[in-house]
Amino acid sequence: MDPQQTPRGEVIPLHPRPRIYARAEHPISRKQISENALKVLYRLNKAGFRALLVGGSVRDLLLGRQPKDFDVATDALPEQVRELFRNCRLIGRRFRLAHVQFGGEIIEVATFRAAHEGETDAAAMTDEGRILRDNVYGSLDDDVWRRDFTVNSLYYDIADFSIVDYTGGVEDIRARRLRLLGDPETRYREDPVRMLRAARFATKLDFEIEPATLEPIARLRHLLEDIAPARLFDEMLKLFHGGCGRASFEMLRRHGLFHCLCPLTDKALDGAEGEFVNRLLTSALDNTDHRIAEGKPVTPAFLFAALLWQSVEDETQVNLANGLSPIEAVQFAADTVISKQVARIAMPRRFTSVTREIWALQPRLMRHTSKRAPRLTEHPRFRAAYDFLLLRAAAGEPVQEAADWWTQFLESDEAGRAQLVESASTQGGDARRPKRRRRRGGRSRRSADDAGA
Ligand code: ATP
Ligand code: MG
């Protein structure tokens, strides 16, 4: 809301009154709220502070979804929160947050915040630029306006179990509409990551991005290039490991946002092998979504392997043409491509090293007729590499024969395995070089396997 200035230059923020939804007017029951979050809310409230659930948890409960976590907003200062809870740690510097820890669950408690980043100072300064008030902490009706979307700006008040809605968030939830607070262009310029958040929430909640929130994205998406790569890594995990990775990918591509995260992959998607790259990626993401739905572990190393596979291959061809040996050509290609990608998304080395192993195992999996093939199954990355080989086959690379052989091998008992190894080696087939077959829907090409990575 626009602040109003008095003749002496002091600033009085003007806020509309919130719409209050009493307990009988909304479906959120305390039974759906984590016991630990309730403990925090009640104790703050008993000590005389305001205490409200805020953000994703209120939104998800209104939608009938299970919240990922429960965040609390309060007028207690961080030090006051710490005095109330033994199991509490303060984090952050300028804006300190309290983390109250209960076994594996952390309840994040944030003191109401005043101005949102970037806007700070006009509102808080006199004409001479003197700071009139501390613009870090504020009241509930300050806190609401620095949030991103209306649906993320709802509060559940433990004092009377009502929902406090300053922004029309409840109506937007009912209409399944994603709407930024304030002027969209200003809000994206303040924090370009909000463009990625728009794509993520629209996908995950199956909401429509309202036109004024959508419109500036095409003009402003390049601002994402200046975001710290470490922050983009966090966002990438939320986008691709949040359970709807494939839909998020498609949404990002549709709005030209994917390019800002993965420029090499984006280029490959628009290149001669685009259809293949798209098949490989969408199956990798489907695979990830299924694993998450089944509660199985996932690693960003696998996703990186799929995202960058074509780029490594293209770079390998360039290196070969420049006269490098096949082994060097592939290794240098992997170095180049990974270092370009981590300049954009800071994937930690413990993951990129696994990505390299998955790639390095691909040509070894092609040599399944060797008597030593069974030993590969003991490699710590065998399973990931085998899964990757299946993806490549499904996407149309000429590696189906090897993929089938390994599948049969893995499904056989010991005697069956011995027989498979025996018959493969007596056939004398050298599967090292796959026959050049046309890829389904793609042109034939030399593969990184040929180079013997
Ligand atoms: P999720 O279910 O993915 O956790 P969430 O809405 O809880 O969704 P968080 O990233 O956990 O999202 O952030 C918590 C709340 O903090 C948001 O609901 C929003 O109100 C506020 N917030 C987070 N990031 C931003 C941002 N970049 N700009 C403005 N407000 C933000
Ligand atoms: Mg959250």
Please write the tens of the pLDDT for every residue from 116-131: 544 444 444 445 444 4
Give the dihedral sign, CA 198/199/205/206: positive
Residue 211: per-residue pLDDT:
98
- Our answer on whether the CB atom of 203 is closer than 6 Å to any ligand 1 atom is no
With a cut of 90, say whether residue 133 has pLDDT above it. Answer: no
Mean pLDDT of 11-31: 84
What residue ranges of the chain are covered by domains with CATH 1.10.3090.10? Answer: 262-450
Q: Which atom of ligand 1 is nearest to the CA of 193?
A: 27
CB 68 within 8 A of CB 56: yes
CA distances 96 to 3, 89, 113, 230, 390, Å, are 25, 10, 10, 20, 47
Residue 202 to residue 251: CA distance in whole angstroms: 9
In the sheet where 105-111 sits, what is the strand order? Answer: 19-21, 162-165, 155-157, 51-54, 71-74, 105-111, 97-102, 88-91
Residue 125: per-residue pLDDT:
45
Q: Nearest ligand to the C-alpha of residue 194?
A: 1
Annotated catalytic, 387? no
- Our answer on whether the CB atom of 71 is closer than 6 Å to any ligand 1 atom is yes
Mean pLDDT of 278-295: 96
Strand partners, 177: 208
Residue 417: per-residue pLDDT:
87
The CATH architecture assigned to 4-175 reads 2-Layer Sandwich (3.30)
Which residue's CA is the closest to the ligand 1 atom numbered 17? 55
Q: What is the CATH number of domain 262-450?
A: 1.10.3090.10
Mean pLDDT of 320-332: 93
pLDDT tens column, 78-103: 999 999 999 999 998 878 999 999 99
Which residue's CA is the closest to the ligand 1 atom numbered 3? 56
Residue 443: per-residue pLDDT:
41
Instruction: Name, in order, each residue with C-beta under 8 angstroms of 423's C-beta and a sequence gap of 6 or more.
Output: none
Residue 128: per-residue pLDDT:
47
Residue 116: per-residue pLDDT:
52
With a cut of 70, say whether residue 433 has pLDDT above it. Answer: no
Residue 359: per-residue pLDDT:
95
Count the helices and strands in the chain (H runs, E runs): 21, 12
- Our answer on whether the CB atom of 235 is closer than 6 Å to any ligand 1 atom is no
Record: fold of 189-257: Hydrophobic Seed Protein (1.10.110)
- Our answer on whether the CB atom of 68 is closer than 6 Å to any ligand 1 atom is yes
Residue 338 to residue 351: CA distance in whole angstroms: 11
Q: Nearest ligand to the C-alpha of residue 67?
A: 1
Query: To the nearest whole percent, how much of the chain has pLDDT over 70?
Result: 86
- Our answer on whether the CB atom of 147 is closer than 6 Å to any ligand 1 atom is yes
Q: In 3-state terms, the chain is what percent helix, strand and coil (to 5)?
A: 55, 10, 35
CB 332 within 8 A of CB 311: no
With a cut of 60, say whether residue 432 has pLDDT above it. Answer: no
Catalytic member of 71, 142, 157, 289: 71
Q: Which of 188, 198, 181, 94 is nearest to 136 (CA)?
A: 94
Query: To the nearest whole percent, how much of the chain has pLDDT over 90?
Result: 77
- Our answer on whether the CB atom of 73 is closer than 6 Å to any ligand 1 atom is no
> Is 242 in a helix, a strand, or coil?
coil
- Our answer on whether the CB atom of 55 is closer than 6 Å to any ligand 1 atom is yes
- Our answer on whether the CB atom of 148 is closer than 6 Å to any ligand 1 atom is yes
With a cut of 60, say whether residue 447 has pLDDT above it. Answer: no
CB 53 within 8 A of CB 33: yes
Mean pLDDT of 166-189: 97
With a cut of 80, say whether residue 290 has pLDDT above it. Answer: yes
Annotated catalytic, 60? no
Residue 384 to residue 216: CA distance in whole angstroms: 40
CA of 18 to the centre of ligand 2 (A): 23
DSSP type of residue 210: P
Half-sphere exposure of 56 toward its Cβ, with a 13 Å CA cutoff? 13
Q: Which atom of ligand 1 is nearest to the CA of 59?
A: 6
Residue 450: per-residue pLDDT:
47
Number of C-beta neighbours around residue 208 at 10 A: 14
CA of 434 to the centre of ligand 1 (A): 49
Residue 419: per-residue pLDDT:
86
With a cut of 50, say whether residue 451 has pLDDT above it. Answer: no
With a cut of 80, say whether residue 358 has pLDDT above it. Answer: yes
Task: Ligand 1 pocket test: pick from 59, 95, 108, 152 the residue with the most ligand atoms within 8 Å of its Cβ.
Answer: 152
CA of 69 to the centre of ligand 2 (A): 6
What residue ranges of the chain are covered by domains with CATH 3.30.460.10? Answer: 4-175
Half-sphere exposure of 322 toward its Cβ, with a 13 Å CA cutoff? 12
Instruction: Name, in order, each residue with C-beta under 8 angstroms of 1's C-beta and a sequence gap of 6 or more.
Output: 13, 14, 15, 16, 145
Mean pLDDT rounded to a whole number for the chain: 88
Residue 110: per-residue pLDDT:
96
With a cut of 50, say whether residue 378 has pLDDT above it. Answer: yes
With a cut of 80, say whether residue 407 has pLDDT above it. Answer: yes
Residue 2: per-residue pLDDT:
47
CB 372 within 8 A of CB 405: no
Residue 91: per-residue pLDDT:
94
In this structure, of 71-85, 287-301, 437-451, the range with the lowest mean pLDDT score is 437-451
Tokens describing residue 170: 């409840």
For the chain, the first-to-last Cα distance in angstroms comes to 59
- Our answer on whether the CB atom of 119 is closer than 6 Å to any ligand 1 atom is no
In this structure, of 168-182, 285-299, 357-371, the range with the lowest mean pLDDT score is 357-371
CA distances 131 to 2, 9, 101, 111, 122, Å, are 18, 11, 36, 20, 9
Residue 238 to residue 298: CA distance in whole angstroms: 13
With a cut of 90, say whether residue 266 has pLDDT above it. Answer: yes
pLDDT band at residue 15 under the 50/70/90 scheme: low
In this structure, of 198-202, 348-352, 362-366, the range with the lowest mean pLDDT score is 362-366
Annotated catalytic, 335? no
CB 48 within 8 A of CB 35: no
Which residue's CA is the closest to the ligand 1 atom numbered 12? 56
- Our answer on whether the CB atom of 200 is closer than 6 Å to any ligand 1 atom is no
What residue ranges of the chain are covered by domains with CATH 1.10.110? Answer: 189-257
Tokens describing residue 298: 């996932």
pLDDT tens column, 45-91: 999 999 999 999 999 999 999 999 999 999 999 999 999 999 999 99
Q: Which of 231, 11, 228, 212 is nearest to 119 (CA)?
A: 11
Q: Which atom of ligand 1 is nearest to the CA of 57?
A: 7
Residue 418: per-residue pLDDT:
86
Predicted TM-score (pTM) of this structure: 0.87
Residue 327 to residue 216: CA distance in whole angstroms: 46
pLDDT band at residue 415 under the 50/70/90 scheme: confident
CA of 290 to the centre of ligand 1 (A): 25
Residue 439: per-residue pLDDT:
52
Residue 372 to residue 62: CA distance in whole angstroms: 57
Which residue's CA is the closest to the ligand 1 atom numbered 21? 147
Catalytic member of 60, 75, 148, 314: 148
CA distances 373 to 150, 368, 379, 382, 422, Å, are 57, 5, 11, 11, 11
Residue 392 to residue 182: CA distance in whole angstroms: 46
Give the dihedral sign, CA 272/276/280/282: positive
Radius of gyration of the chain (CA): 27
